[in-house]
């Protein structure tokens, strides 16, 4: 097992190195931002209003869940361990400057998230059960109608199914079980059983069941966590300007949490910021497009803009609170890693055991919601690879693996997840670059008719 782990570490260093995903992720986001004329900045407020206030297209006739439920399902999958443990890990290895690169990945990634959600709706199909199915596993083949597009789509589907058991299942379940054990003394096997039963109750009902559950508790879990973060930052308000300054200066010097400078400090901050940024918000991975494809919407642009707000909420809001709490409290120099560092930061800020309790409760909700969202992503990719008949067996295996993750040491799985995340993103990013002209053209045409997303009568989903 040790040799397997070492191999995965080596592969991850190549996949997330300076010559592969880091320039491809950032470059794709920048190119799409330019071609879409900064749509993530120009249309952020109308998109937030449509997704969080209006919540659904009343005239939509296709789709399985509302736009709001599609947004919360995507948020459920992304607001997870990455927002608590991932941010702390990035800061531990890359210093406070890693937070700058997480922000950068999020801001340009909003354009990537918009683009993949747009394509997810535009090229979605109806499966044998009458449910909508879409995402890179479909739009890469349908929008790039040659063998290259087909290969990209199948690559994505295979890597997504594998990733669903890592990033979307075992790593989440393991973090919950470990945190519950350390904070409340709950045995890992008991946490595993409870999560397995709850996951089965929700997942076997499919996307409509997932949508109903996430629509209810995703906003509540984010408000609880951000509310606690506001209190900690209020207590340490005088340290906030210095913390922001540290983030920006260390983005290019990379002071490590362990002290001093390590290796190529700039690349360390950049690598961990980008890698943990995508682990948190999944922009460019293509996964959120699968949830977007199930939305009831009248036009791909509308759902693309709603989906784009997920990255804003995840990275610019939730990740920022985690990072600033860790930096202002000084927990980043404590030597702790992952969720333990975040727990220490909140405990120092709130006093007593309140901080660790809130972090543990947040881990439970964040991680369990990620399990729900990713089960659907794997579900749709299995349907693409082997047909509807493979869906129920996949759900059953996925539920059982929750228990395995909760009760097993998972260093190998964490490294496996990093590799699968990167390999998922690769075909999707290539496809986004190839299709960037189509995305920009149809976006411009729609927004000329309906600039404030009010639902112009002639703005319907274009013929495929």
pLDDT tens by residue, 118-165:
999 999 998 888 888 999 999 999 999 889 999 999 999 999 999 999
Cα distance between the two ends of the chain = 48
State the pLDDT at residue 422: 85
Map 107-153 to HEC letters: HHHHHHHHHHHHHHHHCCEECCCCCEECCHHHHHHHHCCCHHHHHHH
Region of 108 please: left (phi>0), alpha (psi -120 to 50) or beta: alpha
159-195 pLDDT, tens per residue? 999 999 988 899 889 889 988 998 899 999 999 999 9
375-425 pLDDT, tens per residue? 989 999 999 999 989 999 999 999 999 999 999 877 787 788 888 888 999
Boundaries of every domain in the chain = 2-449
Most confident among 95-99, 131-135, 436-440 (mean pLDDT): 436-440
State the pLDDT at residue 279: 64
CATH topology of domain 2-449: Amino acid/polyamine transporter I (1.20.1740)
Token pair 């299995």 is found at 382
Q: Judge whether 88 and 338 are in contact, CB under 8 Å.
A: yes
183 contact partners, CB below 8 Å, separation of at least 6:
343, 356, 357, 360
Average pLDDT of span 69-94: 81
DSSP-based three-state secondary structure for 330: coil
The token pair at 228 is 């606690």
Average pLDDT of span 216-242: 91
Cα separation, 20 vs 419, whole angstroms: 12
Residue 69 has pLDDT above 50, yes or no: yes
State the pLDDT at residue 89: 82
Phi, psi (5° rounding) for residue 90? -60, -40
Average pLDDT of span 326-351: 90
Residue 455 has pLDDT above 90, yes or no: no
Average pLDDT of span 3-22: 84
Average pLDDT of span 45-66: 86
The token pair at 46 is 């109308």
State the pLDDT at residue 253: 74
Cα separation, 70 vs 214, whole angstroms: 9
DSSP state string for 210-253? HHHHHHHHHHHHHHHHHHHHHHHHHHTGGGHHHHHHHHHHHTTT
Cα separation, 233 vs 424, whole angstroms: 36
Residue 259 has pLDDT above 50, yes or no: no
271-327 pLDDT, tens per residue? 677 766 766 677 888 988 998 999 999 999 999 999 999 999 988 999 999 999 999
State the pLDDT at residue 217: 78
State the pLDDT at residue 305: 96
363-372 pLDDT, tens per residue? 888 888 889 8
Which band of pLDDT confidence, cut at 50, 70 and 90, is reported for residue 74? confident
The token pair at 356 is 């660790």
Most confident among 76-85, 196-205, 276-285 (mean pLDDT): 196-205
Percent above pLDDT 90 for the chain: 48
State the pLDDT at residue 181: 92
Cα separation, 315 vs 75, whole angstroms: 11
Chain centroid to CA 23: how far?
19
For 202-206, 433-437, 454-458, which range has the lowest pLDDT when averaged over its residues? Answer: 454-458
Cα separation, 152 vs 426, whole angstroms: 9
State the pLDDT at residue 263: 42
Phi, psi (5° rounding) for residue 293? -65, -20
Cα separation, 395 vs 397, whole angstroms: 6
Beta bridge partners of 126: 132
State the pLDDT at residue 266: 64
Chain centroid to CA 265: how far?
26
- The rounded mean pLDDT for the chain is 87
State the pLDDT at residue 56: 83
């Amino acid at each position: 097992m040790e040799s397997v782990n070492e191999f995965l570490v080596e592969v991850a260093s190549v996949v997330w190195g300076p010559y592969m995903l880091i320039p491809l992720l950032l470059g794709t986001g920048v190119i799409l931002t330019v071609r879409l004329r900064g749509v993530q900045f120009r249309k952020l407020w109308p998109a937030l209003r449509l997704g969080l206030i209006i919540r659904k297209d009343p005239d939509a006739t296709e789709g399985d869940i509302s736009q709001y439920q599609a947004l919360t399902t995507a948020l459920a999958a992304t607001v997870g361990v990455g927002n608590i443990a991932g941010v702390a890990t990035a800061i531990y290895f890359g210093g406070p400057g890693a937070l700058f690169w997480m922000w950068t990945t999020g801001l340009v990634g909003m354009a990537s998230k918009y683009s993949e959600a747009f394509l997810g709706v535009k090229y979605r199909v109806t499966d044998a059960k009458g449910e909508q199915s879409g995402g890179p596993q479909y739009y890469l083949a349908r929008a790039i109608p040659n063998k290259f597009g087909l290969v990209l789509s199948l690559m994505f589907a295979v890597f997504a199914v594998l990733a669903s058991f890592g990033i979307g299942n075992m790593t989440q379940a393991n973090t919950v079980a470990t945190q519950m054990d350390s904070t409340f003394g709950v045995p890992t096997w008991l946490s595993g059983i409870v999560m397995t039963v709850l996951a089965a109750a929700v997942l076997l009902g499919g996307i409509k069941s997932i949508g109903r559950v996430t629509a209810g508790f995703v906003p509540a879990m984010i408000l609880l966590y951000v509310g606690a973060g506001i209190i900690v930052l209020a207590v340490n308000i005088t340290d906030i300007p210095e913390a922001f300054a540290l983030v920006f200066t260390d983005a290019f010097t990379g002071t490590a949490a362990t002290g001093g400078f390590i290796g190529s400090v700039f690349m360390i901050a950049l690598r961990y910021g980008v890698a943990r940024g995508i682990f948190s918000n999944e922009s460019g991975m293509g996964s959120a497009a699968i949830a977007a494809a199930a939305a009831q919407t009248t036009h791909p642009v509308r759902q693309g803009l709603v989906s784009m707000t997920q990255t804003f909420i995840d990275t610019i809001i939730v990740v920022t609170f985690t990072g600033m709490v860790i930096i202002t409290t000084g927990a980043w120099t404590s030597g702790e890693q992952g969720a333990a560092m975040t727990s220490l930061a909140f405990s120092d800020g709130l006093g007593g055991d309140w901080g660790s309790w809130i972090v543990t409760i947040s881990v439970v909700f964040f991680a369990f919601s990620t399990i729900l969202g990713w089960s659907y992503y794997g579900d749709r990719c299995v349907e693409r690879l082997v047909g509807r008949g493979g869906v129920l067996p996949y759900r059953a295996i996925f539920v059982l693996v929750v228990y395995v993750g909760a009760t097993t040491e998972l260093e190998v799985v964490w490294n496996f997840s990093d590799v699968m995340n990167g390999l998922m993103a690769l075909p999707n990013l290539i496809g986004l670059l190839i299709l960037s002209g189509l995305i920009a053209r149809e976006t411009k045409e729609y927004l000329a008719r309906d600039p404030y997303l009010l639902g112009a009568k002639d703005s319907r989903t274009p013929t495929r």
